Structure 1
Amino acid sequence: MARPTSLLLLLCVIVAAAAQLLAPAGAAKFACNARGGAARCQSLLGYTPRNATTLASVMSLFQVRSFRSLLAANGLPLSTPPSRPVPARATVRVRFACACSAGHGASMHRPFYKVAPGETLDGIARGVFAGFVTYQEIAAANNISDPALVQAGQELHIPLPCSCDEVEGAAVVHYAHLVAAGSSTSGIAAEFGTAEETLMSLNGIRDPKSLQAGQVLDVPLRACSSSISNASIDRGLHVPNGSYILTANNCVLCSCSSSTWQLECHPTKGLSSSACPAATCGDLALGNSSSSTDCESKTCVYAGYTTTTASFNILTNLTTQSLCDAAGAPMPQPSAGFDLQSGVQWAYLAVLSICFNVALVGFVL
């Protein structure tokens, strides 16, 4: 009959093996080779909190400048209060500024995180920021030679993964997605309206079976085309389906149409007209359409905005659309908002803890 010590050690080995299977694959830098003005953009991240929280807390953690921006990224009404609950394991989209450098993309300037007593870089990377970064990346971004020497009160820049590159010649919004247990490359591709081959190529995945829970993927979200002028301050504005964005000093709300894949913009409701200049195409207001014939429609579309020390102008174009031309259906995109996910990326920590304690008991016996 086997000794108790041997049985306990054998159990420890089994548990440790299981922990390796459950362990998250870790964050990965996103390729970002865009240059010039295209080397900066807006990216998205799907944050999945370990415990129940609120929109206000998510905004504070990622230091989102505008609460309206957080609402827009998730397709939530502007009347949504900051106290709105976010269930544990729900996904909240966070929009942030991205910059390309040395072939990779990382969040610009923010978020910063103040180290609490007893915290480690690894705990901050995994526990606070859900594994979207590694402790090595945090250390490199903050010129920390010894990750074990972080101190309480120290402020750290968190380099969130992102990219500004076009994908297959098309403008996209790069979305950092945390892989849930049981996911597949084909399922993720279908969920976000992209091709599996594109998803695998972008993330350097050769074998779909190698996908792991906790792995961070660069998912390209198709963006709507627009009529925004290159002279506009918000040129290069990209909006994926299922979300909207406020621009022109919050005077204009733009969303992506899943039927035409054109950016649809109109004056933001609830803002004082005195704070926003008129946005019209003659007698036609921004976002409105009129039909002169059964097969032709004219629409006043958003073309950007300009500002000087003396004026603030919203640019518009009057476009003509044929209503009689048949058009193919666009690829589907997921609706935004909160998506419950079965995130088990934290389970391996508990398993490793059990392993350690079992081994300790075994040696004592």
Structure 2
Amino acid sequence: MPNRNPTSFSSYVALCFMIFSNVALVTSKSTIEPCSNSDSCNALLGYNLYTDLKVAEVASLFQVDPISILTANAIDISYPDVENHILPSNLFLKIPILCSCVDGIRKSVSTKYKTRPQDTLSSIADSIYAGLVSADQIKEANSISDPSVLDVGENLVVPLPCTCFNGTDNGLPAIYLSYVVKAVDTLAGIAASYSTTITDLMNVNAMGSTSIKAGDILAVPLSACASNFPRYASDYGMIVPNGSYAITASHCVQCSCGPGSRNLYCMPSSLAVSCSSMQCKSSNLKLGNVTVQQSSAGCNVTSCAYGGYANGTIITWLSSSLQPRCPGPQQFPPLLAPPTHVTRDSAFAPAPAPQSDGGSTTTVPKTVPSTGSLPGLAPAGAPIGSTSDASTLVNLVAAVPTALMIFLLIKLIPPFSL
């Protein structure tokens, strides 16, 4: 009998194990945005409540101001004790966060979670944070050697996904929502729900096809109104999505982005109690006041606008301009009552696949816009951000029929003797 390498069979078994292990370790796909500076920017997270929670409890999970969550979702903050209002399970909310540049990519690392009895990394990632992070990401961010042992009361850093892309989309102001794909979602349904296009979603997320799966995390551009506050202002870079508003200047100022608008409009908020002066210098106009005067040359418009918040002072500036026609009344986002339940047609339901009149899911043909790209590669003109190369490779391996893989591996294994 010829001599055979005794390690040949074990090597091929190890190869087989590694391939199938990698297939099992497919993780959620998310957009990665490279960055090179330490600036923070505004972003949003799409979050589904895993149980009934008070507004303040949701805010604590993400370490943000409870009022900022309400305003980002156009919920009326004038209700008594609104921070302690109980929000229903499965409610979908947009959570405003600061997106930082860490180790060359955009992500939020300001969120910390205090562990409780019965917590596991998987339950924290999949349930409490609704798939916005993976157990492995939490493990890596906290250098956890044994994930089966979590001390009660331990503060864990929870790295959450976010993108900014300079606060623009196709050259217009935008804020980006990190959206976790649900099993019923289609790319067409998500695009329709957020007033964008399939092509735009594919470009932003560097997708080679319209195929998505549950657990993927997509960056969804939302049209918005951008501020032009100076860098020294604490609210520098503030951007507000269409149809919502934001509170700033220690709850003294409310800025809104009306439906179909690109102009940020700021005025004193309903929470203003002890605030610095909001009157424009050399004028009797206060923040948010606008005067118009028709003339033969057009319309003279004078306004007292908000210029940011610095060192406890509300900055205002007076502007005058001659416009072809006088502006109409200011359009405000319609405010919603604090929600107590969730229905399919609720404004707080997650973006579903398009539905027919009968309520059944409509089949949407998965056509790929002509981009000149191969599957798995970024479409032409896509931003630098892209999905994980490792995830794409694993998905390609996973697409190979299991029986074919086993057949090929058997053919590669040389004969051996016991």
1:132-211 matched pairs, under 5 angstroms: 132-166=132-166, 167-208=169-210, 210-211=211-212
Alpha-carbon distance in structure 2 between the residues aligned to 1:125 and 1:101: 20
Deviations 1:242-269 (A, max 9, x none): 2211122222110112343100000113
Alpha-carbon distance in structure 2 between the residues aligned to 1:131 and 1:334: 30
1:24-173 matched pairs, under 5 angstroms: 27-36=28-37, 39-64=39-64, 66-80=65-79, 81-110=82-111, 112-166=112-166, 167-173=169-175
Query: Are 2:300 and 1:301 equivalent residues in the alignment?
Result: no
CA contact (8 A) 2:108 2:159 kept: yes
- How far did residue 231 of structure 1 move? 4.7
- How far did residue 170 of structure 1 move? 4.2
Pick closer, same or farther for the CA change 1:56–1:232 going to 2, 3 Å. Answer: closer
- The DSSP-based 3-state class of the residue aligned with 1:44 is strand
- How far did residue 239 of structure 1 move? 0.9
Pick closer, same or farther for the CA change 1:188–1:61 going to 2, 3 Å. Answer: same
CA contact (8 A) 1:223 1:239 kept: yes
Matching residue's letter, 1:339: F
Alpha-carbon distance in structure 1 between the residues aligned to 2:293 and 2:320: 13
- The DSSP-based 3-state class of the residue aligned with 2:246 is strand
Alpha-carbon distance in structure 1 between the residues aligned to 2:326 and 2:280: 27
CA contact (8 A) 1:241 1:335 kept: no
CA contact (8 A) 1:42 1:98 kept: yes
CA contact (8 A) 1:55 1:84 kept: yes
- How far did residue 182 of structure 1 move? 2.5
Alpha-carbon distance in structure 2 between the residues aligned to 1:26 and 1:79: 42
Query: Are 2:343 and 1:339 equivalent residues in the alignment?
Result: no
- How far did residue 125 of structure 1 move? 0.6
- The DSSP-based 3-state class of the residue aligned with 1:239 is strand
Deviations 1:104-123 (A, max 9, x none): 2221322x112223322112
> Given the two structures, how large is their TM-score scaled by the length of structure 1?
0.74
- How far did residue 317 of structure 1 move? 3.4
Alpha-carbon distance in structure 1 between the residues aligned to 2:28 and 2:322: 45
- How far did residue 335 of structure 1 move? 9.0
Alpha-carbon distance in structure 2 between the residues aligned to 1:96 and 1:258: 22
Alpha-carbon distance in structure 1 between the residues aligned to 2:183 and 2:144: 33
Task: Count residues with an aligned counterpart.
Answer: 307
- The DSSP-based 3-state class of the residue aligned with 1:36 is coil
Q: Which has the larger radius of gyration?
A: 2
Matching residue's letter, 2:68: S
CA contact (8 A) 2:228 2:237 kept: no
Pick closer, same or farther for the CA change 1:288–1:34 going to 2, 3 Å. Answer: farther
- How far did residue 26 of structure 1 move? 5.2
Alpha-carbon distance in structure 2 between the residues aligned to 1:160 and 1:135: 12
Alpha-carbon distance in structure 2 between the residues aligned to 1:157 and 1:321: 52
Matching residue's letter, 1:181: A
Matching residue's letter, 1:284: L
- How far did residue 322 of structure 1 move? 2.3
Matching residue's letter, 1:298: T
* Partner in structure 2 of residue 360 of structure 1: none
Alpha-carbon distance in structure 1 between the residues aligned to 2:73 and 2:129: 19
Alpha-carbon distance in structure 1 between the residues aligned to 2:31 and 2:318: 36
Alpha-carbon distance in structure 2 between the residues aligned to 1:168 and 1:335: 29
Pick closer, same or farther for the CA change 1:33–1:168 going to 2, 3 Å. Answer: farther
Matching residue's letter, 2:34: N
CA contact (8 A) 1:49 1:89 kept: yes
Deviations 1:217-255 (A, max 9, x none): 111222213343345332211111122111222221101
